[in-house]
Structure 1
Amino acid sequence: MKDTVSIYGTELNSRLLIGSALYPSPQIMQDAIIASGAEIVTLSISRQNPQDNGGQHFWNIIQSLGVHILPNTAGCHSVKDAVNMAKMSREIFQTDWVKLELVGDDYNLQPDPIDLVQATEILLNDGFKVLPYCTDDLVIARHLVELGCEVLMPWGSPIGTGKGLLNPYALQAIRDRYPDITLIVDSGIGLPSHAVQAMEMGVDAILLNTAIAHANKPQQMAEAFKKSIEAGRSAYLAGPMTEQKSAQPSTPKIDSPFWHHSA
C-alpha cells in the first residue's frame, strides 16, 4: 500500500508543497518546483493574476507543470477581504481549494485566530475546501476541526523567519489530539533539518517557499528538502528508539559491567 497524503480526498505522493513567490526569475521557479517533486503549488492573485497581461507568462509556466493549484489569500487583513479573494481565486483558477491566510499583526504576520475561524466557517458553508494557516494553538485547531476542516496548516515559526519549530510541544499536541487530520507545517521552515524534525513528529507534509526561493541555488535546495522530508517520514514510520537517561552499550561484553536503567 502506497504511503500517500490526503488533501480533502485527493491522494498525493509528495509530502512537499511549494510556493511560487520570491524566486529570482520564472525559470528558476520552474526548475525548483520540478526538482522538489511537489504536486501542489501555492499562488496568490494578489501577486500574480493570470487574467492580466503581466501574469500570463507566469500562469502558463504553472499550468505546464501539471500540478495542483492551491490559491492563497495572502495579504488579507479582514474576513471580508479574505472571503472575496477566495471567491475570485475559485473563479480564476477553477478550484475550490483555498489556503486561508488572514493577517492579525503586521509585526510578525501572525494569523488572526478569531477572524480565521469566522472566515473558515463562511467559506466551508460556500463549498470551499479550506486549508487554514493558523498558529500552533490547540484550541484554535479544535475550533477549525469542529467546523469541518480536514486539513490544518499551523506555523513552525513566523513566516519568512527560517527559525524552524519554535514550539515542538504545541505541534505535537495538535498531532496527538487530531491523528486523522492532515497536518501541514506551514512557514518558518528554513533548513532541511527543520523539515526532518517536523516529519519525525508525524506531521503529514511541509509547505515551503522562502527557504527554497532565497537559497543561493534554489533547485539544489529544493532537492535537499525533498530528500529530507522523505527521510523524516521514513523515520516516523520506522518508529524511533526511546531516549534513555543513561548510556547504554550497543555491544555489551559478557562479564563486563555497564549501567542498567532500572524501571
Structure 2
Amino acid sequence: MTILMCNSEESDLLNVDDQFLISGKLFESRLMVGTGKYKNIKDASKSIIMSQASIVTVAVRRLQSASNLKSDRLLDFLPLDSLWLLPNTAGCTTAQEAIRVAALGREMCARLDQVDNNFVKLEVIADPQYLLPDPIGTLKAAEYLVNKGYTVLPYIYPDPMLAKQLEDIGCATIMPLASPIGSGKGLQNMENMQIIINNASVPVIIDAGLGTSSDAVKAMEIGSTAVLVNSAIAYAKSPTLMAEAMRLGVISGRYAYLAKRMTKSDRAIASSPGTGIIF
C-alpha cells in the first residue's frame, strides 16, 4: 500500500483501518470477489489475484461433489492458503434448500483444508426473472443456520427492517444489493442503504449490481464496510484491469469516508483572499 506523507495518527489510521472483522476473523482487503461468469479459468484466476481480495465466493452447487472439487481447475490456480472461501447458496429457492446447500459448503471448505470455515453467503431467491432475494425464506434459513453455528452473511434487498432483524438473530454481516444481480446499474437505493449502514453494528457489505469502479467508490464513501463484485469484473473487456480498478476504487472510497468530505454550500466560496489584490 502506498501512503503519502502524513502525521503519525493519520498514518496509523490508514494502515490499520484497512482491515476489518467478520465474526472475529480479520481480513486485509475490503474488496470481495466472485468466481463465476468469466470466459475462461485464466481470466478468472488472474483477475482474482489482481484484485488482492481476501475473500472469494464459490457457488456450492458447482462444487458439491468430491469429483467436481478435484476437477475444478480454478481452485488449483488460487492461493487457498491466503484466500478465505465464502460458499454461497446461489440457486436455492427455499429456506430448506439453502440450509442443505450450506451444509455442503461447510464440508467443501473442510476438504480444502479450511476446517474452521463456517462461513456461508446465504441466498434464497425464488424469483427467476429479477433474482430478488426472498426476505421470509432468508430470515428462516438464517435463524436456523446461526443456531447451528454458521457464520451467516445474508444477501437481501435493501430493507432496513429486515437488516435489523437479521442482525438481531445473530447474522455476522448484512449484504444488501446495490441493484439486481448482474445488471451493472450501480447503487439504486441509496437512502435505504444509508439507513442500513447507520443502524448496523455488524459489517455491511454492498453486493450485486455494481458496474464499475466509481460504484465501488460511492459504496465505500457512504460507509459500507466492504463490497462484493463479480459481474463487473468478469464481463469487462479487460477483467484483470477492472479488478485492479475495483481494488483502487475500494481503497479510494474508504479513504474518502475516513477523511470526511467538506460541507456542501449553496454559494460559491472563494479559495483566495479578497484583500491585497494588485490592479
Contact 2:33-2:53 within 8 A present in 1 as well: yes
Q: TM-score, normalised by structure 2?
A: 0.87
State which of 82, 86, 95 in structure 2 corresponds to 1:70: 86
> 1:59 Cα deviation (Å)?
2.9
**Which 10-residue stretch deviates more, 146-155 or 62-71?**
62-71
The alignment status of 1:97 with 2:97, answered yes or no, reads no
Contact 2:52-2:247 within 8 A present in 1 as well: yes
Alignment length, in residue pairs? 255
The alignment status of 1:34 with 2:56, answered yes or no, reads no
Contact 1:43-1:71 within 8 A present in 2 as well: yes
How do 1:79-98 residues align onto structure 2 when only pairs under 5 Å count?
79-94=95-110, 95-98=117-120
Aligned equivalents of 2:64, 2:138: Cα separation in 1: 24
Structure 1 partner of 2:237: 216
Aligned equivalents of 1:225, 1:109: Cα separation in 2: 24
Structure 2 partner of 1:47: 62
**1:61 counterpart letter in structure 2:** F
Contact 1:202-1:236 within 8 A present in 2 as well: yes
Structure 2 partner of 1:259: none
How do 1:14-29 residues align onto structure 2 when only pairs under 5 Å count?
14-29=29-44
Structure 1 partner of 2:273: 252
The alignment status of 1:167 with 2:189, answered yes or no, reads yes
Structure 1 partner of 2:219: 198
> 1:160 Cα deviation (Å)?
0.3
Aligned equivalents of 2:126, 2:273: Cα separation in 1: 57
Tell me, which stretches of 5 or more residues in structure 2 are unaligned? Answer: 1-11, 111-116
> 1:177 Cα deviation (Å)?
1.1
**2:62 counterpart letter in structure 1:** R
Aligned partner of residue 153 in structure 2, secondary structure: strand
Aligned equivalents of 2:230, 2:126: Cα separation in 1: 21
**2:172 counterpart letter in structure 1:** E
The alignment status of 1:114 with 2:130, answered yes or no, reads no
Contact 1:163-1:189 within 8 A present in 2 as well: yes
> 1:147 Cα deviation (Å)?
0.3
**Which 10-residue stretch deviates more, 247-256 or 4-13?**
247-256
> 1:11 Cα deviation (Å)?
1.1
Structure 1 partner of 2:4: none
> 1:242 Cα deviation (Å)?
1.1
Contact 1:50-1:56 within 8 A present in 2 as well: no
Aligned equivalents of 1:164, 1:158: Cα separation in 2: 9
Structure 1 partner of 2:26: 11
The alignment status of 1:243 with 2:264, answered yes or no, reads yes
**Which 10-residue stretch deviates more, 61-70 or 114-123?**
61-70
Contact 1:96-1:128 within 8 A present in 2 as well: yes
Q: TM-score, normalised by structure 1?
A: 0.93
**1:140 counterpart letter in structure 2:** L
> 1:6 Cα deviation (Å)?
0.9
Aligned equivalents of 2:31, 2:186: Cα separation in 1: 16
Superimposed CA distance per residue, residues 213-243 of structure 1 (whole angstroms, 9 cap, x where no aligned partner): 0111111110000001100000000010111
**1:171 counterpart letter in structure 2:** M
**1:44 counterpart letter in structure 2:** A
Superimposed CA distance per residue, residues 8-66 of structure 1 (whole angstroms, 9 cap, x where no aligned partner): 11111100000000111111111101110101110012123461257432332335563
Aligned equivalents of 1:174, 1:227: Cα separation in 2: 24
State which of 187, 191, 201 in structure 1 corresponds to 2:208: 187
Contact 2:32-2:55 within 8 A present in 1 as well: yes
Aligned partner of residue 33 in structure 2, secondary structure: strand
Contact 1:48-1:55 within 8 A present in 2 as well: no
Contact 2:233-2:243 within 8 A present in 1 as well: yes
Kindly report the root-mean-square deviation, in angstroms, between the aligned alpha carbons of the 2 structures: 1.6
How do 1:136-151 residues align onto structure 2 when only pairs under 5 Å count?
136-151=158-173
The percentage of aligned residue pairs carrying the same residue is: 39
Aligned partner of residue 52 in structure 1, secondary structure: helix
Structure 2 partner of 1:261: none
Aligned partner of residue 236 in structure 2, secondary structure: coil
